[in-house]
Amino acid sequence: MERLWGLLQGAKRLSPGPSQTIYKHVEGTHQGQLQEEEEDGEEAAEPPAHLCPMELRGPEPRGSRPGRQNLGLWAAAGRRATPYLVLMALLIFTGAFLLGYVAFRGSCQACGDDVLVVSEDVNYETSLDAHQGTLYWSDLQAMFLRHLGEGSLEGSIRQTSLRQRMAGSAGMAALAQDVRAALLRQKLDHVWTDTHYVGLQFPDRAHPNTLHWVDAAGEPGEELPLEDPDVYCPYSATGNATGELVYAHYGRPEDLQRLRTQGVEPAGRLLLVRLGLISFAQKVASAQDFGAQGVLIYPDPADFSQDPHKPGLSSHRAVYGHVHLGTGDPYTPGFPSFNQTQFPPVQSSGLPSIPAQPISADVASLLLRKLEGPVTPQEWQGRLPGSPYRLGPGPGLHLGVNNHRVSTPINNIFGCIEGRSEPDHYVVIGAQRDAWGPGTAKSAVGTAILLELVRTFSSMVSNGFRPRRSLLFISWDGGDFGSVGSTEWLEGYLSLLHLKAVVYVSLDNAVLGDDKFHAKTSPLLISLIENILKQVDSPNQSGQTLYEQVAFNNHSWDAEVIQPLPMDSSAYSFTAFAGVPAVEFSFVEDGQAYPFLHTKEDTYDNLHKMLQGRLPAVAQAVAQLTGQLLIRLSHDHLLPLDFGRYGDVVLRHISSLNEFSGDLKARGLTLQWVYSARGDYIRAAEKLRKEIYSSEESDERLMRMYNVRIMRVEFYFLSQYVSPADSPFRHIFLGHGDHTLGALLDHVRLLRSSGSKALGTASSGVAPVLAFQESRFRRQLALLTWTLQGAANALSGDVWNIDNNF
């Protein structure tokens, strides 16, 4: 470039003052063509004399012969400059292309089949600290991992598990103060506490629960030992139940129906059921629907690992579990339990009307030995020593449950980092703080990870990070009684949370093993989870990412990892009740459950031994996964929620209904309405995807408008045609009630079933019916169809943009 500048300066010195352009005829074979005359000053050959096309000539000095020497210098400079000019043009073009490509990749979050597109070159933010410059995704990822590595998860887990923290206890009050103080020490914008006054059920120490054999006269006789009077089922019906004993496997509706087919009637009997597969509440609800008098729940060794190198549950230990088929305070359903709140005189419909009691494997073995009747099916056999596993019935039993209700204050603790662009949109992360017993796996791990994430993000804020959306960290109370703290908070702020909460991430039950990884989640988060899994190292497979670990033996990674949200998760209420997409991560054992959950043996040492010393590494992996998920959700310009996924969910359910289309057609009924509504949803999702694809990410107003539509997709699937007081879980795919797709499917199955009394309870939580009812089917179809159609309309945007063929 210096050489080019020197040539241009030299030509300038030799050029004349006033300049003029001279056109000259030159000859050539192409008549009429303009040609520039070039000379280098050393040759002065005259052109041919005949006429030729005109030539553009440079200026000549006055009073002299044409200045061929000066013109030659100009021409030579031009010839030498040409390669440099071309090179400069190429450099400029290449730079502009790369800048445009990077900007396009960052803004194209709706390209392809999924909404999610990740680029490590995306400009996430301009740092508040001027010397640090621009932060990209890779910068934020490295910053997060660096600050997370500075903490001590292991020590925090151990210390929390040593604290006595039953909801309502003095130990829990002390821990709540310590957690609040820990949040106040960090760089948070807001820290506060919400107190609720809830009805919790506790055992009566003066009148403990009892179990007796019944003598020939029908009176209670010899007492059976219940080793630990502290183990009970919160929200069990109180009182006495007497009846013959029947073994009912896991107590699922299909198990009880099979009992009937084997000639053993569960009605009027006490049921002995195994722990596992479904919740305590579902077991008791199914037993109640089949007319049972009471339920005894025990842990069978067959459901836990038999590895001699891993610890096992003591045979004299019973397992704690609440039996409210719902979440929150069952004595104030639908209303927040703030102090002085006036409640209507109603109770949750999920409270059972029959008593339930946990028993140990030792007591269960005594009961099984007394059973008569047919031998159980092979798959119903357990591993209790000396027990023949017969269906029954057996001798009579008398169960007495004397639990009592206590009004108890519980405290939820909050910490918030405000977003810089969308502070009114919250990414919520929470962990249960209370526990019955040591609760290491149940809540100590989650609480420790929560506090470490608070510390890590606080450090990131001190180093220039500021999320676009607010991060809301919450420590819940009352979780062991059915997500009471989280549900009461949702009930108290429901009118605004569905407008402001983007996603909820639960840290409960995060580490129950290390063989497999599960994500219980809304479909909206599946694509984002897949991407994050590819960026987190496996805690037990060196050199592999978590994604490579879960996809190693199964190319359909989501079939291996993704599960629906269970009712006993705090994340469930966020989605099924409030319409906020939610996720709960869990590392679990391969094929066998963690045996110590909800027992007094859920200690740090047992969990650490169960994982063969890998507890800190697995907890760290959960923290890394969760933290990177939070960064994406709180800081992407466009929310990385895959709103098109629900089209696949509807299609999957419709395929289950298709097998009954002939039966419906014979009755003059059709499912065409559902098909049309699904088609409208798919078209609305594709239209929104194309709008996002063609938009500018720099347009903040447009991005916010898209984000509002995307973050409310989950809320659109809450049925607007049923009362929240009567059906609090209004979600048509995940909820419970006659409005759900599961209830419709259960009802349609009655077209081919007879006497399947409890089919309606299996997946939908509705009262069972004896036969198909056309009027009920039409109502169910209308509720489902118009909720799905409403979701399609809402996703379309403004009313003038709605174009459906319904």
Q: Which amino acid is at 746?
A: D
- 144-158, 430-444, 630-644, 653-667: range with lowest mean pLDDT: 653-667
Beta carbons of 748 and 774 less than 8 angstroms apart? no
Beta carbons of 674 and 748 less than 8 angstroms apart? no
Residue 252 has pLDDT above 90, yes or no: yes
DSSP state of 479: G
CA distances from 107 to 110, 115, 137, 468 (A): 8, 11, 13, 15
Q: Tokens at residue 714, please?
A: 């989950």
Residue ranges in 313-414 assigned as alpha helix (H): 361-368
Contacts of 211 (CB under 8 A, 6+ apart): 223, 224, 226, 296, 357, 359, 363, 397, 398, 399, 400
The position carrying tokens 């020497």 is 69
Predicted confidence at residue 95, as pLDDT, reads: 74
Predicted confidence at residue 100, as pLDDT, reads: 61
In the chain, CATH 3.50.30.30 covers: 208-401
Residue 578 has pLDDT above 50, yes or no: yes
Q: Which CATH architecture has domain 644-755+769-796?
A: Up-down Bundle (1.20)
Beta carbons of 475 and 540 less than 8 angstroms apart? no
Beta carbons of 468 and 420 less than 8 angstroms apart? yes
Residue 664 has pLDDT above 70, yes or no: yes
Q: Are strands 294-298 and 356-358 parallel, antiparallel or unpaired?
A: parallel
Alpha carbons within 13 A on the beta-carbon side of 426: 20
- 38-47, 158-167, 350-359, 509-518: range with lowest mean pLDDT: 38-47
Torsion angle in degrees (nearest 10) through CA of 136, 137, 139, 145:
160
Contacts of 594 (CB under 8 A, 6+ apart): 441, 512, 513, 588, 607, 610
Residue 303 has pLDDT above 60, yes or no: yes
Residue 718 has pLDDT above 50, yes or no: yes
DSSP state of 241: E
Tell me the backbone φ, ψ of residue 535, rounded to 5 degrees: -115, 5
Predicted confidence at residue 112, as pLDDT, reads: 36
Beta carbons of 118 and 531 less than 8 angstroms apart? yes
Better-predicted residue by pLDDT, 270 or 5: 270
DSSP state of 48: P
Predicted confidence at residue 73, as pLDDT, reads: 53
Measured from the Cβ of residue 395, the count of other Cβ atoms closer than 10 Å reads 16
Q: Which amino acid is at 472?
A: L
Predicted confidence at residue 78, as pLDDT, reads: 61
The CATH class of the 208-401 domain is: alpha beta
In the chain, CATH 3.40.630.10 covers: 137-200+406-635
CA distances from 86 to 36, 83, 758 (A): 20, 5, 80
Q: Tokens at residue 88, please?
A: 């400069």
- Sign, CA torsion 260/263/266/268: positive
Predicted confidence at residue 13, as pLDDT, reads: 47
Beta carbons of 460 and 187 less than 8 angstroms apart? no
Tell me the backbone φ, ψ of residue 671, rounded to 5 degrees: -105, 15
DSSP state of 425: E
Q: State the pLDDT confidence band at 547, using cuts at 50, 70 and 90.
A: very high
Instruction: Tell me, rounded to whole angstroms, the distance of Cα 111 from its chain centroid.
Output: 22
Residue 284 has pLDDT above 60, yes or no: yes
- Sign, CA torsion 475/477/479/480: positive
Q: Rounded mean pLDDT of 443-468?
A: 95
Q: Are strands 123-126 and 134-136 parallel, antiparallel or unpaired?
A: antiparallel
Please return the burial class of 18, using the count of CB atoms within 10 Å of its CB with bins 0-12, 13-18 and 19+: exposed
Please return the burial class of 286, using the count of CB atoms within 10 Å of its CB with bins 0-12, 13-18 and 19+: buried
Q: Which CATH architecture has domain 137-200+406-635?
A: 3-Layer(aba) Sandwich (3.40)
Tell me the residue ranges of DSSP E strands in 302-401.
356-358, 396-401
Q: Which of 678, 681, 779 is nearest to 737 (CA)?
A: 779
Beta carbons of 610 and 310 less than 8 angstroms apart? yes
Predicted confidence at residue 129, as pLDDT, reads: 43
**Which pTM does this prediction carry?**
0.82
SS3 labels along 690-724: HHHHCCCCCCHHHHHHHHHHHHCHHHHCECCCCCC
Residue ranges in 376-442 assigned as alpha helix (H): none
Helix (H) or strand (E) holding 666: helix 661-666
C-alpha–C-alpha distance, residues 371 and 391, integer Å: 7
Q: State the pLDDT confidence band at 447, using cuts at 50, 70 and 90.
A: very high
Predicted confidence at residue 14, as pLDDT, reads: 44
Residue 191 has pLDDT above 70, yes or no: yes
- 477-481, 525-529, 539-543: range with lowest mean pLDDT: 539-543
C-alpha–C-alpha distance, residues 226 and 222, integer Å: 13
In the chain, CATH 1.20.930.40 covers: 644-755+769-796
Residue 309 has pLDDT above 90, yes or no: no
Tens digit of each residue's pLDDT (9 = 90 or more) over 740-775: 998 998 899 888 875 444 444 444 555 555 688 999
Q: Which of 201, 203, 221 is nearest to 212 (CA)?
A: 221
Produce one character per residue of 206-230: b if its CB has 16 or more CB atoms within 10 Å, e if not. Answer: eebbbbbbbeeeeebeeebebebee
Instruction: Tell me, rounded to whole angstroms, the distance of Cα 290 from its chain centroid.
Output: 34
Q: Tokens at residue 193, please?
A: 């506490």
Helix (H) or strand (E) holding 587: strand 582-588
Q: Report DSSP letters for 86-149, one per residue.
A: HHHHHHHHHHHHHHHHHHHHHH--S-SSSS----TT-EEEE-SSTTT-EEEHHHHHHHHHHHHT
C-alpha–C-alpha distance, residues 294 and 272, integer Å: 9
